[in-house]
Amino acid sequence: MGAATHTFPADLIHAQQQWHATYRALAAPRPRRNTELRRRLLHLSARIHWHPFWTTPAGRTPAARVELRQRTAADRKQVAA
């Protein structure tokens, strides 16, 4: 992964991290609270999609969305290690 080029708001990073955690919980074998997890995933998806950052010049590029996912994925790998 290249150097970070975007400065994301903390709440957007946190929402993306929560999205990943919720998705992993839902993807687990026999997840508990299936409906609750699906609703949370939808809520977080909407929150991320409609975040004001995406209307800024830095957030308008598709690369910004990719970088956010990669950066939060890198955070997950560091936490797991």
In the chain (81 residues long), the average pLDDT of successive 10-residue segments reads: 75 95 91 92 97 95 93 64 38
Q: How confident is the model at residue 4, as a pLDDT?
A: 63
pTM, two decimal places: 0.82
**The pLDDT value given to residue 73:** 83
Per-residue model confidence (pLDDT) at position 76: 59
> Among 81, 69, 80, which Cα is nearest to 20's?
69
Burial 19-40 (b: 16+ CB within 10 A, else e): beebeebeeeeeeeeeeebeeb
Residue 1: predicted pLDDT = 45
- For 61, half-sphere exposure in the C-beta direction (CA atoms, 13 angstrom radius) is 9
> How many CA atoms are closer than 13 Å to the CA of 31, on its beta-carbon side?
14
